[in-house]
A and B are shown apart, each in its own frame.
Chain A
Amino acid sequence: DAGVTQSPTHLIKTRGQQVTLRCSPKSGHDTVSWYQQALGQGPQFIFQYYEEEERQRGNFPDRFSGHQFPNYSSELNVNALLLGDSALYLCASSLAGAVSNQPQHFGDGTRLSIL
């Protein structure tokens, strides 16, 4: 049973560039949430996708956008990269309407470094 998979594992970009990160949810899950984790801090919620639509959004600028595909996989796009965007980007998946005691499952993350 494949868990949440993310690609790439590491990425180096320069300021002003654009980046796309990818996530495949755990088998059987249909909801994908994205989080940003800066070094030494807890993850911060970026947004959540379900039925190919953005359903909830955290306090992140419009430079952060996403997409969900019919197979439930998802992409996170960040435009006009800033040094402060350097972080570990985590994808979490879950099943909508699932029993309430199920946690969200996290992938191993993409480490993004901005030079």
Chain B
Amino acid sequence: ELKVEQNPLFLSMQEGKNYTIYCNYSTTSDRLYWYRQDPGKSLESLFVLLSNGAVKQEGRLMASLDTKARLSTLHITAAVHDLSATYFCAVGSISSGSARQLTFGSGTQLTVLP
């Protein structure tokens, strides 16, 4: 059974600081997704990582994937208040379906303090 673990679960940061969220998964996969969720809202796609060594950046967020270590990271640079949200990683797997079944981590609730 595929397990996805994120840490930390809760993160309070000062504005302007850097930090990294970690996502470990238990079985081989070639699809790793990062989503953002604001309170009471749906999931917004941030990144799709497809291969070993993949790195993607959007603004103050950078995601990377190491398939050999089964590890993805989401790095936050010079945090600002607008980044406060819950961040989920998800591993995609497919058996008989037409699209990947996503297995999510528990989420990291990020609060950026002034």
Contact = CB atoms under 8 A, between A and B. Distances in A.
A45 B50 contact: no
B101 A58 contact: yes
Contacts of A107: 42
B63 interface: no
Contacts of A50: 97-99
A101 B50 contact: yes
A96 B99 contact: yes
Interface residues of B, number: 27
Contact of A42 (B41, B95, B100, B107): B107
A56 B95 contact: yes
B48 A41 contact: no
6 contacts: A41-B106, A42-B105, A42-B107, A43-B104, A48-B98, A92-B43
Interface of A: 30-31, 33, 35, 41-45, 48, 50-51, 55-56, 58, 90, 92, 94-97, 100-109
